[in-house]
Amino acid sequence: MQIAETQRLIIRQFTEDDIPALYDMNRDPKILTYIPTPAMTDIRQARVLFNEVILPEYASRGYARWAVEHKADKRVIGFCGPRFIEEFNEVELGYRYFPKYWGQGIGVEAANAALDQFHRFGIGETIALIIKGNDASEKVAQKVGMGFREMSTFMGHDVKVYFKQLT
């Protein structure tokens, strides 16, 4: 299901065909520098992520992370979208992209398009959890109108919590 479209991007639900892209974005050490989970070592782990996390979240909540497809390249280049974070009892806007696409404004473009759709899923406010030192993610959060709320911890890491009221 397509969620949003911009000049360069299609934001949509992940499909089974995206499992290789999920694997690649969860195994690259450069991408995972500020991600508090271990790198995947086998594509079967991406299959489990898709079948046991993403699909059940789509089914139960109506949303989960969304694939970001680059129109010109006709490939999934990352993800952007909501995920309910139980530890905070809030919905997080999360985003991650392949390094080839860093520094091109794609993060802000996708985040703005995704945030514009949150109301369709009953999401009226959102947070971003950003590990200390991840300046690029902080800039994306700030450029889409999120403000720093507090320092906290998540998955054993110090995180900056950004917040935005959407409605």
By C-alpha distance, which of 75, 61, 77, 65 is closest to 14? Answer: 65
Which residues are paired to 82 by β-bridges?
Answer: 93
Instruction: Note the pLDDT of residue 135.
Output: 96
Instruction: Note the pLDDT of residue 2.
Output: 97
Instruction: Note the pLDDT of residue 167.
Output: 78
Query: What are the tens digits of pLDDT across the range 51-99?
Result: 999 999 999 999 999 999 999 999 999 999 999 999 999 999 999 999 9
The CATH code of the domain at 2-165 is 3.40.630.30
Question: CA 55, CA 49: separation in Å to the nearest integer?
Answer: 9
Any idea what DSSP says for residue 29?
T
pLDDT, averaged in runs of 10, over the chain (167 residues): 97 98 96 94 98 98 97 97 97 97 97 98 98 96 98 96 95
